[in-house]
Amino acid sequence: MKPADWIDTGAVPPRPLPATVAAALAYLAEALGHPVYAHWTLARVKRRYGSLADAKAAQPTVLKLLLAHDGAVEYWERGRLRTVTADLAPRPG
pLDDT digits (tens), the chain, 93 positions:
788 888 999 889 999 999 999 899 999 999 999 999 999 999 999 999 999 899 999 999 999 999 999 999 999 999 999 999 999 999 986
CB distance 63 to 56 below 8 Å? yes
Same domain, 41 and 23: no
In angstroms, the Cα distances linking 87 to 42, 71, 83, 84 are: 16, 8, 11, 8
- Looking at the structure of the chain, the number of domains it has is 2
Check residue 68 and give its pLDDT.
96
Check residue 1 and give its pLDDT.
73
3-state secondary structure the chain: CCHHHCEECCCCCCEECCCCHHHHHHHHHHHHCCCCEEEECHHHHHHHHCCHHHHHHHCHHHHHHHHHCCCEEEEEECCEEEEEEHHHCCCCC
Same domain, 79 and 53: yes
Check residue 36 and give its pLDDT.
94
Same domain, 24 and 59: no
Task: Note down the domain range covering 5.
Answer: 1-33
Whole-structure pTM value:
0.80
Same domain, 42 and 27: no
